[in-house]
C-alpha cells in the first residue's frame, strides 16, 4: 500500500495557470476542427445547419500568426427588430502557439467592465478559467449539433451608396 501512495505523491500537480494554458490549447484544437478560422478571410460568415439557430462568425483581424474573431448566435428580437448577440465570444487565436483564448463575452463587456480596473491575479485567473471553460463546452456543443466548416457561408459586405 505504501508503494502505491508514494507513487501517487510523485505525480506532478498541474497549476491553475498550467490548466488554463491547456484549456487554451484544447480550445484552439476544437476551433480549428469546427471552423478553421486561420484559413478564412476577414469578414462575416453564417453557419446554419438544418433546424438549428444560425451561428455568426466574424473574422475581425487576420494576421500571419493571429486571428481575432467573434462568435455568436444570430437571434432576432421581433419587438426591437435587431440581433441579440448573446452569447458573443470574442476569441484570439495564436496559430503559432496553437492556443485560442476567449478574451471576453458580450458586446462591450471586457474584463475591466466585469472585474474592475485592478483585479487581483487570482480573480483574473478565475475569470479566464470560467470564460475559457464555457468556450470549450460551447465548441463541443456546436460540433455535436452539426455546426462546422461544411455549413459555413460568407455574408456579402453591404455596399454603401456613393454619396
Asked if 97 contacts 111 with a C-beta cutoff of 8 angstroms, the reply is no
- As a whole number of angstroms, the distance between CA 152 and CA 42 comes to 14
Using DSSP's 3-state secondary structure scheme, residue 62 falls into strand
The DSSP annotation for 107-123 comes to TT--HHHHH-SS--HHH
Q: Is the pLDDT reported for residue 148 higher than 90?
A: yes
**CA proximity to 34, closest of 154, 150, 155:** 150
pTM of the full predicted structure?
A: 0.80
Please give the share of the chain, as a percent, with pLDDT higher than 90.
58
Q: Which pLDDT tens digit goes with each residue over 121-134?
A: 888 888 899 999 99
Average pLDDT over residues 13-24: 89
CA R_g for the chain: 19
Using DSSP's 3-state secondary structure scheme, residue 131 falls into helix
Q: Which pLDDT tens digit goes with each residue over 27-75?
A: 999 999 999 999 999 999 999 998 999 999 999 999 999 999 999 998 7
76 or 107, higher pLDDT? 76
CA angle, corner 55, sides to 52 and 56, nearest 5? 160
pLDDT at 109: 55
pLDDT, averaged across the chain: 84
Asked if 74 contacts 90 with a C-beta cutoff of 8 angstroms, the reply is no
**CA proximity to 58, closest of 6, 68, 49:** 68
108 or 134, higher pLDDT? 134
Amino acid at each position: 500500500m505504501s508503494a502505491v501512495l508514494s507513487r501517487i505523491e510523485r505525480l506532478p500537480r498541474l497549476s491553475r495557470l498550467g490548466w488554463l494554458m491547456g484549456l487554451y490549447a484544447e480550445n484552439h484544437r476544437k476551433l480549428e476542427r469546427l471552423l478553421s478560422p486561420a484559413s478564412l478571410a476577414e469578414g462575416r460568415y453564417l453557419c446554419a445547419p438544418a433546424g438549428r439557430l444560425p451561428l455568426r462568425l466574424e473574422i475581425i483581424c487576420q494576421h500571419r500568426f493571429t486571428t481575432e474573431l467573434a462568435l455568436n448566435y444570430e437571434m432576432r428580437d421581433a419587438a426591437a427588430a435587431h440581433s441579440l448577440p448573446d452569447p458573443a465570444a470574442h476569441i484570439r487565436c495564436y496559430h503559432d502557439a496553437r492556443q485560442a483564448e476567449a478574451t471576453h463575452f458580450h458586446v462591450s463587456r471586457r474584463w475591466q467592465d466585469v472585474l474592475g480596473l485592478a483585479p487581483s491575479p487570482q480573480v483574473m485567473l478565475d475569470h479566464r478559467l470560467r470564460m475559457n471553460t464555457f468556450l470549450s463546452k460551447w465548441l463541443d456543443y456546436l460540433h455535436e449539433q452539426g455546426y462546422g466548416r461544411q455549413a459555413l457561408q460568407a455574408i456579402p459586405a453591404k455596399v454603401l451608396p456613393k454619396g
